[in-house]
Structure 1
Amino acid sequence: HPDKNKDPGAEDKFIQISKAYEILSNEEKRANFDRYGDAGESQGFSQQQHRQFHRFHDGFYFDESFFHFPFNSERRDTSDEKYLLHFSHYINEIVPDSFKKPYLIKITSDWCFSCIHIEPVWKEVAQELEALGAGIGVVHAGYERRLAHHLGAHSTPTLLGLINGKITFFHNAVVRENLRQFVENLLPGNLVEKITDKNYIRFLSHWRKDNKPHVLLFDHMPVVPLLYKLTAFAYRDYLSFGYVYVGLRGTEELSSQYNINVYTPTMMIFKEHIDRPADVVQAREMKKQLIDDFLSQNKFLMVARLTSQRLFQELCPVKKSHRQRKHCVVLLTEEGEKFAEAYEAFLTFAVANTKDTLRFVHIYSDWQPEFADALLMDEEKYRGRSAVVILERRNNAGKIAYKVLEEAWQGSKEDNFILLDLLDQLRTDPGLLSSETVVADLNDELAPMFLIRWFYSTVDYISDWWDSLFHSNWREMMPLLSLLFSALFILFGTVIVQAFSDSSDTRDAPPSGKEETAAKTEKNDASFSKESN
C-alpha cells in the first residue's frame, strides 16, 4: 500500500493489485478478460498484455480461492448477509433477545486480510452455534460505523459476545474450540444442576418454592452439552434444569427409579408429582427443535401459583375473539398445612379435567390480599378457608368477569360436582360470569430483595470495570485515565503548595509575646553583666 510503502513504484503496484482483485472477484469481468484480454472497459488489450497480466498475477501467487472473501460491497459473502446487523435492529431486537440467548458478533470490513484468515473458522462455528440456539451477528464497520463504535470495536476483525445486554470481547486465538468455550462461558454457571441419587428428591421437590416444573436430562456424556445449557438459559424463567450423567457411580438408583435407557438420551419433565414424570422424550440425537417443542408444551405446573402480574397475564390471557376465549379456575387459599388437603383435591380435579380452554391456577390470598379482597368482597364465610373463582380477563387494565362458588372449597365430592357443573354450563353460556370488577396488579412474590439486587448490580459493575481495565481499547480508556491523572496531579500539587506555604508563614511570622519577654530578659541580663564589669 503506498501509505505504508514509500517505494516510488508502490502506487502502480497497488493499482495493479486492485485491478486484479476487481477482475478475479467478478464473474463477468473475469469472463471478459479470458475472452478479450480485458475486463470489458476497453476491448483493445492485446494477447501480449493478457499474458503480461497473467505473469503478474502468477508472480503474486494469487488464485481464485484467495478471493472468496468479499473485498468489495458488490460481492459480499452471502453466508454473512443473513446475519448483518443495523443500529436500530441491534437496539430494538438483538439486545432484548440477548436476554433469551447469547449472541456471537463479528465486526468486519472491506480490505481486511485478517478477516479472510478467520472466515473458514467463523463460518463453521456460526452454523454450529446457530443450530444449538445461539444468536449470530455480523457488523460491517464500513457501512455501520455508528454501531461499530457503539459496540466498542475500533479494529477489524473484532469478535464479541452479547448476553443480557452486556458486551464481552473475545481475546483468544480464533479456533473452533475457543469460540465454543467463549460462548459457553457467557452463560451463568448455575443454569444446570448436577443430579445424583443423593440430591434428586430435593431438586424435584423444589417446585413448591420456585413454582416451576423441573427438567432432567439423562445422558452418557460426562459434561453437560452446550445445547442443554443454551436451552436452560432460554427457558430459565419457566423451568429448572438438572443433568444426570448416567455413567457416574451414584446415579443407579435414579436411573432405576425412572426406568432409564442408559444408551439413549432421555429428557423428563416433573411437575407436582415427583414419583412419575409428567412427560418424557427420548432420541438418539436431541435436536433443538425437538427440545423446544417438548418444553414449550410443559412450561407450567398443572396448577401453577400466580406469583406475579406477568404470570397472570400469560396463564390467563385477555380474550381476543370468541374462539380464543380462555377461562381461569382460581383456587384462593392460604399458605400452610391447614390448607394442603383443599389444594390436593383441587389439583386432582385439575388433572382430571384438563382442557385447552381452561387453566387451573392457585393463589395465596395472604400474599395477594388486594386480589383476594376484590373477588371475595371480604365475605365472612370465606375467612380462613379456601374458595374457587372462575374468571375471564376482559382487558389489560385489570377488568375481569368472574363467578365465585357459593360455598368454600373443601375438596369434597359435592364440591367437585358443583364445579364440574359450572364448567359445563360455561361452555354454552358465557354469561354465567355475571360479576365484574377491576383488580390491581399482582405483587411479584419471587422478586429478590432490594439489597440483593443492589449487591448483584454492584458486583456486575465492578466485574465490568475490571474487565474493561485490562481488555478495553486504550483509546476508550484515555479520557478516563487523563481525568484520573489530572485529579491526582491537582491533589498532589495542592498538598505540595500548601506545605511550602505553611513553612514560609512560619518563618515570616512575628515572635510571640513569650518569645519577646524572653528576648528582653536576655538583653537586660547582658546589660547588667556589662555594668557589673
Structure 2
Amino acid sequence: KITDKNYIRFLSDWKKDNKPHVLLFDHMPVVPLLYKLTAFAYRDYLSFGYVYVGLRGTEELSSQYNINVYTPTMMIFKEHIDRPADVVQAREMKKQLIDDFLSQNKFLMVARLTSQRLFQELCPVKKSHRQRKHCVVLLTGEGEKFAEAYEAFLTFAVANTKDTLKFVHIYSDRQLEFADALLMDEEKYRGRSAVVILERRNNAGKIAYKALEEAWQGRKEDSFILLDLLDQLRTDPGLLSSETVVADLNDELAPMFLVRWFYSTLDYISDSWDSLFHSNWREMMPLLSLLFSVLFILFGTIIVQAFSDSSDTRDSPPSGKEETAAKTEKNDASFSKESNSRIPKKGFVEVTELTDINYTSNLVRLRPGHMNVVLILSNSTKTPLLQKFALEVYTFTGSSSLHFSFLSLDKHREWLEYLLEFAQDAAPIPNQYDKHFLERDYTGYVLALNGHKKYFCLFKPHRSGDEGGTLGSCNDYDALHHAEARGKPSCSPGSRSIKNKLHKLSFWMERLLEGSLQRFYIPSWPTLD
C-alpha cells in the first residue's frame, strides 16, 4: 500500500526493477481481488501499488496527480515519476479495460536489456521484408559519469519512438560478450557510451547492425547524426551493412527474481488468508461460488453415473399455454428493464473536471457507444452553472454510457475555439484581429463529445429574449429603480441569468439520446494543454 511517505521511493525503484510502476487509486479500504489477480499476472513486467484515497496520509499524493477521489484511477509511471506516462479512469474497472491498458505499457521508454527473453520481446526477429523492426541500443555504463549520455538518449527516444523502432540500453560491463561482438573492442569506445542500430535476423543470434562512428556523448550533434541514420534506414535497409553472431544475454535479475517471486507469493497468500477470514467476503464470493460449483458438478456426475436408470424418460415439452405465459413474462421483464435503465442510481450527479491528466481516458479513448457531456464554465460562473447543470441532467445519470464533466474556459479557451471552428454556423469563431476576440462569452455552452467516432453535438445557452423572457424581467430600468427604492432585493442579472443559460438543457439531452441532433465531425481530437 502506497502513502505520502513511500510513494517517491516506490516510483523511483524503476531503475532497480527495470519495470514501469502502476498505481491504482480507489476509495475501497481493501485492495480489490481483481487488482490482486492482475498484479500477479503481470508481475514479470510491472510493479504494482495501491492507494486508498480515503486514508489519512494520502492527501499529498492525490493532490500531486490531481486524483478524482470518487472514480477509480490507474496510472503508469516510467522513467519520469513527476508525471504519469499513461492514465485510465473508469467508474468500474473491468478486466478487459485493465488488460488493454497494461499490455500497451509493459516496458519502459528505454528499457535495459537484462535477459535474453527481454531482448527477444523488445527486438523480435524479422519475419519478412515488410515487417522490419529495428532496435536502437545504447551501450553504456553505470554511475554519474554516464548519466548525461543516458538522459540525452532517453530524451531522443521519447521524441522518436515508433511501432517499428524500439530504444533500449545495456550495461556493457554486465554483458561483455554482447558489447564486444558489436564494438569489436575498439579503443575510441573505451570508457564511453556507444549507440548501435541493429536488426535480429534469426533466433540463432545472427544480427545486422551499424554503430555510430563516434562515441555517444549526448550532444545535439550526436542526436542529429542518429536521426539522419534512422531517416536513411527507412528508405535503405542495406544501411545495416555489418553482420555478426551474438551470444545469449546473461540473466542479470535471475537470483533477485526468485527471491522476489517467493516473497510476493507469500504476501499474496497472506493477504488472501486475511481477506478470507476478516473483511473481504463480498469479493471472495465469486471465487467461493466457482469452487462450490465445480464440486457440485463433480459430485453430481458421480451420482448420476452410479444411480441413473437407463429407462429414464425425457421431460415432456411444455404446453402451448405455458410457452405463451413464459414469453409474456419475458417480454414484461425486458420492458421493465428498458424503462428502468435511465432511473438515477445515485442521489447526486458526478461531474469531473476535464484536465490534461484524464483527457485521454475520458475522451480520446472513450469506449464505443459512450459520450462525455461537457459543460463550459469560468471561475466566476462555476457554482451557479454546476448547480443548474446537475438539476438538468440528473434524470439521465442512470445511463452508464453518459459521462459528465466540466471544462474551465479560463484554462482551455483555445481548445474550445478550435472545436467550435468545425461548427461555424452554430458558433462563428472570430479571427485574431477581432477586437472582441478575448471578450466572447462561451460560458453555458454544452458539448456532447463522442470520442470513438470523433464528433460532437453543441448546446448554445438561451439569451434573455428567448422563450418570452425566460431570464426574468430585470431589463426594465424603472421597475428595478422602484424596487430598490422600496428596500426590496432586486432581481440581479447575475446568478439568475447565469443559471437560465442552461434553460431547456434537459430537452436537448432527450434529443441527444434520440440521435436527432446535428453532429459536427472533426479529423482528430486536439491536445488539451
* TM, length-normalised to structure 1: 0.49
Higher helix share: 1
Q: Which has more radius of gyration?
A: 1
Larger relative contact order (C-alpha < 8 A, sep ≥ 6)? Answer: 2
What TM-score, normalized by structure 2, do the two folds share? 0.49
